[in-house]
């Protein structure tokens, strides 16, 4: 229902309201496809508002997501003002849910006549279960190397809470030399992190992850790797635009035999496997492991993974039973990297006598 009033010498005056049912957006490279839109609206020369409702549909936007995102229900209120300087949009009461997650929030969109558009969007989100399809929700707008790692590394997880902020012109992402903020942060519980191919995965991960403009950082509060307890750690991708590197720093504690089993299972410990068939270890120990992993495939093929590891010994026992060799009360540190293993000035008891060990 529209009313149009025209008088000579005066601006056209328009006023209208109406209802739309089952509207389908076909979608383009820049506009997502969405079906089943029902809405009521009111508008006049100064602005207007739309109350939108979508049910049992899907959000299809290949530029951001590799698979269509199912929508059980989506509600939002949009209002706008027509000013001399341009259009101002307000998004409020936005709520979306499906079987995996729920999202709430709102924001503003300024469309000035002589300047680039500016978006100010703030959302909160959480998952409704432990997701085993996390890759479906990782947006493709992150850099290729980082996107590939994220979609293979984060195998599963439950997100009790998360926040998303986007401020500025979206086309300027990731805002390296331009004003704007892209910030996603969320807690994760019951996670499974396959941080590197062929390395034992971390399970029962509890921590937090943050994407801020061109960088990514995360904290691991606790986890399990094989029989080891992860007591803390950090994961970082400092620059997703340049030569992207994954920096991983993990701290674990457990039985020394468990640490040795972990290391021989990883690619760097393959040459230790014959030795591990005859060697026996016991007693508590802790491990600090730092990895530097190039995420660009050509760089990875050329440089490989840089490893910096340190095992702290706490009154441990090391034995080679077939050769009747036993070292007890081992104290000190064992350092290893991608090349080899060494210890300097470790102490132990050997056949009842105190000794100092230097080994490579």
pLDDT tens per residue across span 203-228: 999 999 998 888 889 999 999 999 99
| Residue carrying structure tokens 């030569």 | 243
Residue 123 has pLDDT above 90, yes or no: yes
pLDDT of residue 148: 81
Contact 326, 319 (CB under 8 A): yes
User: What are the pLDDT digits (tens) for 154-187?
Assistant: 899 999 999 999 998 877 777 878 889 989 999 9
| Residue carrying structure tokens 């209120």 | 77
Residue 142 has pLDDT above 70, yes or no: no
pLDDT of residue 163: 96
Contact 61, 46 (CB under 8 A): no
Residue 7 has pLDDT above 90, yes or no: no
In which band, very low, low, confident or very high, does the pLDDT at 141 lie, cut at 50, 70 and 90?
A: low
Per-residue tokens: 111: 């469309």
φ/ψ of residue 160, rounded to 5:
-70, -30
Residue 260 has pLDDT above 70, yes or no: yes
Sign of the CA dihedral 46, 51, 57, 58? Answer: positive
Contact 265, 200 (CB under 8 A): yes
21 vs 24: CA distance, rounded Å = 9
Arithmetic mean of pLDDT, 233-256 = 90
Reported pTM: 0.84
Cα angle 286-227-308, degrees, rounded to a multiple of 5: 40
134 by DSSP, 3-state: which? helix
pLDDT of residue 319: 96
pLDDT of residue 315: 95
pLDDT of residue 143: 65
Arithmetic mean of pLDDT, 31-47 = 93
Question: Which of 329, 315, 308, 256 minimizes the C-alpha distance to 286?
Answer: 256
């Amino acid at each position: 229902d529209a009313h149009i009033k025209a008088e000579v010498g005066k601006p056209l005056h328009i006023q209208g309201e109406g209802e739309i049912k089952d509207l389908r957006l076909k979608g383009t490279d820049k506009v997502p496809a969405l079906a089943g839109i029902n809405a009521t609206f009111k508008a006049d020369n100064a602005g207007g508002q739309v109350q939108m409702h979508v049910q049992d549909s899907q959000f299809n936007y290949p530029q951001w997501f590799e698979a269509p995102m199912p929508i059980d229900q989506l509600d939002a209120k949009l209002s706008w003002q027509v000013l001399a300087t341009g259009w101002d949009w307000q998004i409020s009461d936005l709520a979306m849910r499906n079987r995996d997650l729920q999202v709430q929030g709102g924001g503003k969109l300024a469309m000035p006549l002589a300047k680039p558009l500016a978006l100010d969007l703030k959302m909160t989100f959480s998952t409704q279960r432990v997701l085993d399809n996390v890759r479906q929700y990782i947006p493709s707008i992150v850099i290729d190397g980082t996107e590939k790692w994220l979609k293979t590394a984060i195998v599963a997880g439950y997100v009790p809470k998360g926040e998303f902020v986007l401020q500025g012109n979206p086309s300027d992402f990731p805002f390296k030399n331009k004003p704007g903020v892209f910030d996603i942060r969320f807690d994760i519980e019951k996670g499974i992190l396959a941080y590197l191919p062929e390395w034992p995965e971390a399970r029962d991960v509890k921590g937090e992850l943050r994407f801020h403009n061109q960088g990514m950082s995360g904290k691991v509060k606790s986890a399990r790797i094989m029989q080891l307890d992860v007591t803390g750690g950090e994961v970082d991708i400092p620059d997703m635009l340049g030569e992207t590197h994954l920096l991983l720093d993990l701290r674990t504690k457990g039985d020394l035999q468990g640490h040795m089993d972990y290391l021989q299972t990883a690619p760097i410990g393959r040459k230790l496997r014959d030795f591990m068939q005859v060697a026996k270890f016991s007693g508590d120990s802790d491990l600090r492991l730092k990895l530097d992993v190039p995420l660009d495939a050509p760089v990875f093929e050329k440089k490989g993974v840089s490893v910096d590891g340190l095992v702290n010994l706490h009154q441990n026992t090391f034995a080679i039973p077939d050769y009747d060799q036993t070292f007890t009360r081992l104290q000190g540190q064992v350092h290893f990297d991608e090349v080899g293993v060494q210890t300097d000035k470790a102490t132990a008891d050997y056949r009842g006598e105190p000794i100092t060990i230097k080994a490579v």
